[in-house]
Copies of this chain bind each other. A is one copy, B any other.
Amino acid sequence: MSPHDTGHGAVASTTAPPLAVGLVGAGRMGAFHARTLAQRLPGVRLAAVADPTPGTARALADDLGCPTALTDIDRLLADPGIDAVVIASPARTHADLVVAAARAGTPVYCEKPMALTLADADRAIGAAREAGVQLQVGFNRRFDAGFRAARDRIDAGAVGTPQILRSLTRDPRLADPARIPPWTIFLETLIHDFDTLRFLNPGAEPVEVSAMADALVRPDFRDRGLLDTAVVTIRFDNGALATAEASFQAVYGYDVRGEVFGSGGMVTMGDARRTHLTSYGPDGIRADCVTYDQDLFHDAYVAELRDFTDSVRAGRAAAVGGADARAALAVALAAVRSVTTARPVRLDELEGP
């Protein structure tokens, strides 16, 4: 199937009214999702935008012809005309918003991380389950054509049993370190990689985590606890050993890659090239890099919201849900503990008595 099949397959009945989706959080990622909801998904409309920062929701809504802009998020969640909600606000607000949406009976897509503690994750999961609403979390790489194809090959047995895995994320630029909470590299960046590693090692679960991290991009922020470079090793219950690594600043662009090595072969994912253009000159061979996540994962970002809205319309479970969010969070929290205690941490240490 085409990696680009916008609108194929998941066709809304053309007579049914479009699914009305509300967006919470009109920042960078929120704005992208807003445009997707407003313009890229047939059978879906952006019904409302809410953001507490004055004017932010209004500007985005106006740009996209969305009728409703709010500074009060609760009003959006209480709106009975909203069929589903997309949460793209700061991470610390996620769990409560998921709970609130679920209690309002509204299916909810939540950007990663869904929660910052296991207790909060459990609360969010419980609320969605009780309400019987879909809960999807923004692990967009699962919807990328290359990562998806890798999983398909793994499911088909082409790799055999995974033995060594790797996932990495390198963001292009660390803009303002003062605004980044200390453990962000694990809780917000590497959480993608922790999910990817689970996705690419199907059926296996992490059991032990060992992490090293440092402030190498901005050593002047080390004292404030900011970690901008990290390498994490994970042992899975099928024996596989995995590494996840992240940096907040790759001067060449946005770099996301994956690799699964197993008893039957290997698959690799990730290509930093912006296009299929290659240039040859006196200085050698050259190609441009991808700079932004919204370029590299454009189609994946659209596909995850399509899948979410499809699941809402079809009344089926979300493809990547609260349990996945919790599992990735547990690895992130274990990595935090490994850094603070300077030793490997077993996942079961994190679970209460």
Contacts and interface: CB of A to CB of B under 8 A. Distances in A.
B277 A150 contact: yes
A203 interface: no
A307 interface: no
Given A14-B62, A251-B263, A163 B217 contact: yes
A217 B294 CA distance: 39
Contact of A4 (B170, B284, B299): B299
Nearest to A257: B276
Contacts of A11: 63
Contact of A163 (B6, B39, B216): B216
B229 A210 contact: no
Interface in A130-185: 145-147, 149-150, 153, 158, 160-161, 163-164, 170
A203 to B, nearest CB: 16
Nearest to A36: B6
Given A252-B282, A343-B343, A277 B233 contact: no
Which one of A63, A149, A269 has the highest number of Cβ atoms from chain B below 10 Å of its Cβ? A149
A229 B288 contact: no
A275 B145 contact: yes
A259 to B, nearest CB: 9
27 contacts: A146-B275, A149-B274, A163-B216, A163-B247, A164-B229, A164-B247, A212-B235, A214-B239, A229-B239, A229-B241, A231-B241, A231-B242, A231-B243, A247-B261, A249-B263, A251-B263, A251-B282, A252-B266, A253-B280, A266-B279, A267-B280, A268-B280, A270-B276, A284-B288, A285-B286, A286-B286, A342-B344
